[in-house]
Amino acid sequence: MTLLELMTVVTLIAVVAAAAAPSIGDALAERKMTQTSLDVVRIARRGRSEAAGYGRAHMLRYLSGDTGTGVFELYRGINNHCNTNDWNAVTGGGVCNREGGFCRDFIVVSQETDTDTIAVVPDNIVGEPLDICFEPSGRVLWRTGTNRFSDRNQGGAANPLGGFVFRVERDGGATGVIRRVVIPLGGDARVLQ
pLDDT digits (tens, 9 = 90+) for 59-92: 999 988 777 788 899 999 999 999 999 888 888 7
Residue of 112 and 123 predicted with greater confidence: 123
pLDDT at 100: 58
- Distance of alpha carbon 149 from alpha carbon 116, whole angstroms: 31
Q: Phi and psi dihedrals of 168, rounded to 5?
A: -105, 110
What element of type H or E holds 7? helix 3-54
Among 4-13, 55-64, 113-122, 142-151, name the one with the lowest average pLDDT.
Answer: 113-122
Q: Residue 42: pLDDT above 70?
A: yes
DSSP 8-class letter at 150? B
Going by their DSSP bridges, the two strands 118-122 and 190-191 should be labelled as unpaired
pLDDT at 65: 78
Domain range for 59: 3-191
**What amino acid is encoded at 23 in this protein?**
S
Q: Residue 106: pLDDT above 60?
A: yes
Domain count for the chain, please give it: 1
Dihedral angle, C-alpha 133, 135, 136, 140, nearest 10 °: -80
pLDDT at 159: 63
DSSP 8-class letter at 110? H
Among 74-83, 129-138, 166-175, name the one with the lowest average pLDDT.
Answer: 166-175
Give the pLDDT mean for 156-178: 75
Q: What is the pLDDT of residues 10-40, one digit of tens each?
A: 999 888 888 877 777 778 888 888 899 999 9
Mean pLDDT of the chain: 83
- Please give the C-alpha separations between residue 61 and each of 15, 149, 156, in angstroms, as whole numbers: 47, 12, 21
Give the pLDDT mean for 6-11: 90
Residues 67 and 116: beta-carbon distance below 8 Å: yes
DSSP string, 20-53: HHHHHHHHHHHHHHHHHHHHHHHHHHHHHHHHHH
